[in-house]
Amino acid sequence: MVAEAAGVGLDGCDRPTEDHVVLLPNAVILADGATALRDDERSGGWYAEHLCAAVAQQLTDQPAADLRSALAAAITDLVTDFGLVPGASPSSTVALVRWTPDRVDGLVLADSPVIAFTDRGPSLLADDRIAGLLPGGYRQRLASGGGYGPGHVAAVRTAGATTSRLRNVPGGFWVAEADPAAAAEARVTSWPRHELNAVLLASDGVSCGVDDYHLFEWPEVLALARDHGPAAVLAQVRDAERADPDGVRWPRPKRHDDQALVLVRF
């Protein structure tokens, strides 16, 4: 089961979602493209769409491939096909789940988590390396009542310039971009399939409801998605954001981020 909803751009205007999901017979790929800070850049959504397609091709050609190796090969394909240059290319998170009759494998690169559920409770596969590196200037500005507008856009662009210097370097954070070596830094794990009841994959436009807004915990997200569909989870996150239109309670880059949530039942 899949639910997706577009957010808004830094300017507050509607635009197509930059989250992408691809479903395969035995795998799910979710990518959340990073918002471009300049109009002349290829968008993160463009990158996420092409990356999902490239990973899907790798897993179709080699169904049992090591997930990190499949991601590295997909990034290499994009570099070759489009002439991407490290440090000057769009980027994307990756969340990936693949299953066999005996095992379920998960991979996460950057802040799109995978949550597996057993009878003992949730097992979180997450990459939080970016969380402690985000500059606080625009967040402090919002929390003090600065609001969204030209001043906010300028503050986010300043923060983005700082963050970009920490991308795919030791001591920074790792994300899919134009350096296939980043795939080796992905967080991976496996679960015995017979132990799993379900798995969730989420972009940060959904996981913020757990991590930042504290609207619910992951077991509640699973129950809501099972009983009412994943779109019901997206709607609750949106309702919370509409109640905080100026980002004072929950300072965030955009009023509404793109949302993607996938529920896989076992």
DSSP string, the chain: -EEEE--B-TTS-B----EEEEEETTEEEEEEBPPPSSTTSPPHHHHHHHHHHHHHHHHHH-TT--HHHHHHHHHHHHHHHH---TTSS--B-EEEEEE-SSEEEEEEESS--EEEEETTEEEEE---TTGGGS--HHHHHHHTT--SSHHHHHHHHHHHHHHHTTBTSTTSB--BSS-GGGGGG-EEEEEEGGGEEEEEEE-HHHHHHHHTS-S--HHHHHHHHHHH-HHHHHHHHHHHHHTSTTSSSS--SSSS--EEEEEEE-
The pLDDT of residue 160 is 80
The pLDDT of residue 161 is 79
The pLDDT of residue 137 is 80
The pLDDT of residue 207 is 98
Supply the pTM of this predicted model.
Answer: 0.94
The pLDDT of residue 125 is 98
The pLDDT of residue 38 is 66
The pLDDT of residue 41 is 73
Residues of the chain where predicted confidence (pLDDT) is lower than 70: 37-40, 134-136
